[in-house]
Copies of this chain bind each other. A is one copy, B any other.
């Protein structure tokens, strides 16, 4: 089962987002965990590779079960771990083979084109306390079928 770690860096009230070329959708930089890595190590490594910067004050904000359904059948399932960072060291790439990087006001997370589950996830990361858990069910075309969310705080 695939494990994906991503990280939303926030600095001066803005979030660093990556616009992927395929659909033009925005995501938090991240990627696949490697064998033996912790989720924390994976999130930091992937962010560094994709942005050329180092995230500061890294903390886990969301753990999601991601499901792709065809009719009633689950045809793919993976885990998504989403971290926040408050501040980065360095100046991010503007363009990489992964897409275009840019800073966006937190409010724009409500409107920018993205997977609808990612919107739930990133809005929580950027503006709420605690940890969010949940399951997102998508079609193969990445239309959100359902989301089931839980939250907790220490």
A residues in contact (CB < 8 Å) with B: 1, 3, 33, 35-41, 57-60, 63-65, 67, 74, 77, 79, 81, 129-131, 133-135, 137, 148, 150, 152-154
| Residues in chain B near residue A67, CB distance under 8 A | 35-36
User: Is the beta-carbon distance between B38 and A135 smaller than 8 angstroms?
Assistant: yes
- Asked if B36 and A135 sit within 8 Å, CB to CB, the answer is yes
Copies in the complex: 2
Minimum CB–CB distance for A83 against chain B, Å: 8
Q: Are B65 and A63 within 8 A (Cβ)?
A: no
Cβ–Cβ contact A150 & B41, under 8 A: yes
Query: Closest B-chain residue to A34, C-beta based?
Result: B65
* In-complex Cβ contact of A60 among B35, B63, B65, B134 (8 A): B63
Is the CB–CB distance between A38 and B148 below 8 Å? Answer: yes
CB <8 Å contact, B65 and A36: yes
Contact B39 A63 (CB under 8 A): yes
A81 to B81, CA, bound (A): 12
